[in-house]
Structure formats: structure tokens, C-alpha cells
Amino acid sequence: MRTSVLLISLALACGAVRAQPVQPAQPAPAGDFHQHVFSDEIITLIGPGSGLKPLPAKELLPLLDAAGIRKGVLLSTAYMYGSANRKVENEYARTRAENDWTADQAAQFPGRLVAFCGIAPLKEYALEEIKRCAGQPGLKRGIKMHLGNSDVQLDNPAHAARLAEVFAAANAQRMAIVVHMRASIRNKRPYGAAEARVFLDKVLPAAPDVTVQVAHMAGTGPGFEDPPAREVLAELAQAVERRHPATRNLWFDVASIADRDITPDAAALLVKRIRQIGVTRVLYGSDSAQGDNLRPAEAWAAFRRLPLTESEFAQIAGNVPPYFK
């Protein structure tokens, strides 16, 4: 044994055997800033054909733990009660109940999870619900809107004005905003550079003091193969790059955009947009831990296949939005 150790030591000294460099540990994301939980009631609303199932926070936490993630933002799906494609009895009461249920889920893991209030911005009760949520300790941090589900059309001046009113109400309550911008695919609504400019010039200025987080890099996922969403992202990224005054507090999350099947060309384009935006404004998120969606650890592994540098990955992994600090 001593002879073997001596020979190895001599070999190292002579350069015959090269010591392998120690690879730095890959940092886990500080948080998953785009997640959902699902109540029994919301699953009943969506219907059995969706393949979704109830998902409480206690079942989500092990998935975050497996990815080494300590923080998570639960985006309430209460806006689904206000979907333009369904009629719901006691709609506002059920919206309130879903928001409160989501807050209760986050409250089970204080310091790790926070909840955002879900609203359908075109509904008459939207401003009332923002004010109510702002008064609830478990919901006061922010609101989540899904423009596709609510069939908000940014090319419609009345819709743009209403969305600006909702942004202003959130700003007045110092509530951050997470916005799923992608217009309705089902209804084939216009979505491109013109709609992005409406958002930049007419809507975003209404919330100058709070974080506005564009979900899914302005798309919907999974994947980055949606041409209209790419066009919107390009317009927003260029606005950030040229320091459009409304983009001062604009952030983006990558939830479900970099999937396992992303092509090299799509990956290169996504990296180009990330660098235009700046890696300090990009947040990790994995979206719903349901069905075929990648779970948090898998989604981070897929994201790490992008042609970013290790320092860029480390920056994105460490980013924490102001509303969670």
C-alpha cells in the first residue's frame, strides 16, 4: 500500500498523472417563482378531461426539495372562474374562496411559500378583489392575471384601458403583478409586436412602482416554438435594452419555455433575448407540476442545456424578485 502511494506521489510530481480539476457544484435556483396548486373545487371546474388532479402545497414541497429550491410563489388559479369561455354561478364568491384557499396553502410553509391573488381583469369585481386581497396578509404581495384565459385583447382600446386601470389599482396597493400576456390561442386573438407596444406604452406605465413579472417569457409553454410570442418577447426585450422608461421594474420568468426538446436554433434565440433583457431580470419558474409538465428539478436541468455561461446560470439561479425579499 505504501509503495503504491509513493509511486502515485512520484508520478504526480513528475507530471505523469494529472489531477482532475474539481467541478464546481451547480447552484440550485433560489426559488420557483411560477408555481400553481390546485384545489378540489378548481379541478371540478376544469373538468375530468383535463387530466389534472388536486395538488395541495404539501405535495408540491417535496418536488421543490428535490430540486434544492427553498422558495416558491403559488399563483392562484382563481381567475379561471372568470374565464371568458364559461359561465359560473356565484362566480365572485368562488373566486374569493379559491384565492383564500391558495393563501392557506402558502401559510402552511411560512418563509418558503407566498401566494398571489388570481383575478380576471375584465370582470366588474376585479378592482374589489384587488382591494380585498391587499388587506389579507396571505395575499397582499401580488396579483396574477392570465390574459388568454380572460380573453383580454390588447388591440382593443377598451380592454387596454381596463387593464391599465387594474395595473394602477395593484400599484396603489403596492402589489406586484405576474401577467400571462399570451392572448387567447383558442379564440385566435391578435398577438405580436403591435400588442407588445400597447402593453409598453398604455398598460405598463400604470404600475411604475411595483414589480411586473411577464410569465413564460411572454409565451405560454411548454416550449419556445410560438411565433407570435417570440415577436412579443423581441419587442419587450428591445424595450428593456433601450431603457424604455416603463420597463424599470419589468422582470421575466422562464416557466416551461426551455423544455427538453428545444432545438439549437430556438435555444440560441432564447439566450439572445435573455441577454437583451439582462440576466439580473430573469427568474426561474417551472409552472404547474401536473401532467406532462416538467417538475422543478427536471425543468431546471432542461434550462441548463441552454448555451448560457456558468456565471449567467448562477446569476439567474440566485435571482429573487423584490416582492419576496
User: From first to last of its 325 residues, what are the pLDDT tens digits of the chain?
Assistant: 434 433 334 333 444 334 444 444 678 999 999 999 999 999 999 998 888 999 999 999 999 999 999 999 999 999 999 998 899 999 999 999 999 999 999 999 999 999 999 999 999 999 999 999 999 999 999 999 999 999 999 999 999 999 999 999 999 999 999 999 999 999 999 999 999 999 999 999 999 999 999 999 999 989 999 999 999 999 999 999 999 999 999 999 999 999 999 999 999 999 999 999 999 999 999 999 999 899 999 999 999 999 999 999 999 999 999 999 8
Q: How many helices (H) and strands (E) does the chain have?
A: 11, 8
Residue 299, C-beta contacts closer than 8 angstroms, at least 6 positions apart: 255, 256, 258, 259, 286, 287, 293
Whether residue 274 contacts residue 310, with contact meaning beta carbons closer than 8 Å, is answered with no
Amino acid at 140: K
CA 301 to CA 294: how far, in whole Å? 10
| pTM for the full predicted model | 0.92
pLDDT attached to residue 22:
41
Contacts of 170 (CB under 8 A, 6+ apart): 130, 142, 143, 176, 177, 207, 210
| DSSP letter assigned to residue 109 | S
The CATH superfamily assigned to 28-320 is Metal-dependent hydrolases (3.20.20.140)
In this predicted structure, what is the pLDDT of residue 50?
A: 85
Predicted local distance difference test score (pLDDT) of residue 27: 87
SS3 letters for 24-64? CCCCCCCEEEEECCECHHHHHHHCHHHCCCCECHHHHHHHH
User: What pLDDT is attached to residue 131?
Assistant: 98
Which pLDDT value is given to residue 51?
87
Q: Which of left, alpha, beta for 126 (phi over 0: left; psi -120 to 50: alpha)?
A: alpha
Cell of 292: 406532462
Contact 259, 7 (CB under 8 A): no
Element containing residue 213 per DSSP (H, E): strand 212-214
DSSP-derived 3-state class of residue 180: strand
Half-sphere exposure of 142 (CA within 13 A, CB side): 26
The residues, ordered by sequence, that sit 6+ positions from 259 with a Cβ below 8 Å of its Cβ are 221, 222, 223, 224, 294, 299, 302
Please measure the distance between the N-terminal and C-terminal CA atoms of the chain and give it in whole angstroms.
55
Alpha-carbon distance of 104 to 2, in angstroms, equals 63
Residue with cell 377598451: 158
